[in-house]
Structure 1
Amino acid sequence: MASVAQSPYTKEQISAWLRGLLTIAWCDGDYDLQEQKLIADLTKDLSVDDQQTLSYQSIEPEELANALGDDVKTGENFLRTAVLVAIADGIYSTPEAELLHQYSEALGLKIEALNSLEHTLCKPNGEEPQAQVTGNAAPLVSPPQPQADLLHPLKDWLDGMDIHDPSVARFICKMVPPQCPFERDIKLFGHKVVHIPPLCKLNPLYEQLVGLRFRALSYLADECHEDISEFI
């Protein structure tokens, strides 16, 4: 898939970047058949250039850091996309939190805004019976009202993400759903066992996901002159 826009990143950087995002998406092992198909489609369709198709392999923090290099802005932009991939399904799990921390350390970055994500979102919400906890994964829930401002630094940091590469932009458009998924009930033997609320109600960072997806779409359409109809 050719693009008019020139990426500021090398092919090695983009390959490592996308492998890092896929590693985040896989790390908690909590994915259904639809999510497995999505990952398979991503690894098949996403390409670093017209000839080279991205093959999925997990990437260790040291390898990622060596590939991305020492540029702070590049490292921060990778971490922003990694956070948004981690929370895209409305679940922020312990394995995801640990891997993000390892990536951040390997890149030599200490992002204070990430502390609010770890302290306010990686917890079960006992006050919301519809927020089902599975294994080490906790539904993303807004913190109690007196602490609501704790998420503002994280939101501001995520909103600072600029899109400069078509492969990363396509990944974002595929990973982030185009609209808030409908709520649904999970039934067993005809009885409701769990209610899953809409992602937009469950995820207090949904606006950041939607905003990043919009910027990715705008970049592909306006700067790369690509047809974005498949993402809408």
Structure 2
Amino acid sequence: MTTSQMPYSQVQISAWLRGLLSVAWADSDFSASEKNLLQELTQSPELHSNINLEELKPITPSELAEALGKDPKITQNFLRTAVMIAMVDGMYSQTEDDLIQQFCVALGQEIKPIVELRKKIEALPGKEHHPDLLNPVKEWLDRLDIHDKRLAHFLCKAIPAQCPFERDVILFGRKVMHIPAMCQINPLYDQLVGLRFRAMNYLADDCDEDVSKYC
């Protein structure tokens, strides 16, 4: 793995994972699937992290800022993955947003689409369906730069290849209900799938890697 394929230092990668763990834990709902994913990521040879999950503790905003540095490209990319982790289940809680905003302050950055989204939601008169509200957030996520091999592997591992959870519930030979696909309940699913596809292309085209395991 060349230096050009790993522009982030090991300190930055470790802090990055701790930051994502902090976001996953922010809503006090650290599910078994989230723990399994983080376990896989921390021990992943592709990420060259080799971190014990039991020792991987949440990170403070000041610790994160010290580790990531001041490069706005790096800090914005981290914030994009943090928002992705917060929204991957189709929900974005107030506690997750509070922590991400603390990260923003410490990093000297602002997620303008999230700030504007919050203002618009607060100004809504009711709970009507407003599908266009998330368009600025989608555009911001689409600008995530993939130029680190470990980040590309993280995206391929963290984002499912197919819409999860879609299945029929069959009891005694009869279908009693249908659980919809994630793409039907998560308005950002297209962006997540797009990021995964770009990550796979980066690994295949720029790093000459076999990505069949992610297909």
Category of TM-score, reference length = shorter chain: 0.7 to 0.9
The equivalent residue for 1:226 is 209
Aligned to 1:10: 9
Report if the CA contact (8 A) 1:8-1:165 is conserved. Answer: yes
1:54 alignment partner AA? I
* Aligned match of 1:132: none
Amino acid in structure 1 at the alignment position of 2:74: T
Identify the residue that residue 134 of structure 1 maps to in structure 2.
none
Structure 1 counterpart of 2:101, one-letter code: H
From 51, 54, 79, give the equivalent of 1:54: 51
Point out where structure 1 has 5 or more consecutive residues left out of the alignment. Answer: 128-142, 188-193
Count of residue correspondences: 205
Q: Structure 1 residues 78 and 15, CA, compared in 2 at 3 Å: closer, same or farther? A: same
Q: Distance in 2 between matches of 1:121 and 1:174?
A: 32
Indicate yes or no: 2:162 matched with 1:179. yes
What's the CA shift for 1:21?
A: 1.7
Contact 1:48 1:54 in 2 (8 A): no
Instruction: After superposition, give the CA deviation of every residue in 1:144-164 in whole Å (9 maximum; x if it has no partner).
Output: 24xx43322211111111101
- The counterpart of 1:163, out of the listed 138, 141, 146, is 146
Aligned residue number for residue 133 of structure 1: none
Per-residue deviation, residues 113-137 of structure 1 (Å, max 9, x unmatched): 1125546789xxx97xxxxxxxxxx
**Cα drift, residue 218 of structure 1:** 1.0
Q: Does 1:144 align with 2:141?
A: no
Q: Which has the higher helix share?
A: 2
* SS, match of residue 51 in structure 2: coil
Deviation digits for residues 56-103 of structure 1, max 9, x if unmatched? 232111111111111112111111111111111222222211111111
Contact map agreement 2:65 2:107 (CA 8 A) in 1: yes
Q: Secondary structure of the equivalent of 1:59?
A: coil
Query: CA 1:117–1:36 in structure 2 vs 1: closer, same or farther (change >3 Å)?
Result: farther
**How far 1:210 sits from its partner (Å)?**
0.7
Quick one: which amino acid aligns to residue 179 of structure 1? Q
How much is the aligned-residue C-alpha RMSD, in angstroms? 3.0
1 CA distance for matches of 2:93 and 2:113? 18
Corresponding position of 2:94: 94
- Structure 1, 173-182 or 113-122: larger mean CA deviation: 113-122
Matched residue of 2:92: which SS? strand
Instruction: Map residues 23-172 of structure 1 onto 2, 5 A cutoff.
Output: 23-45=22-44, 49=48, 53-55=50-52, 56-118=56-118, 144-145=129-130, 148-172=131-155
> Alignment partner of 1:45: what SS?
coil
Give the structure-2-normalised TM-score.
0.81
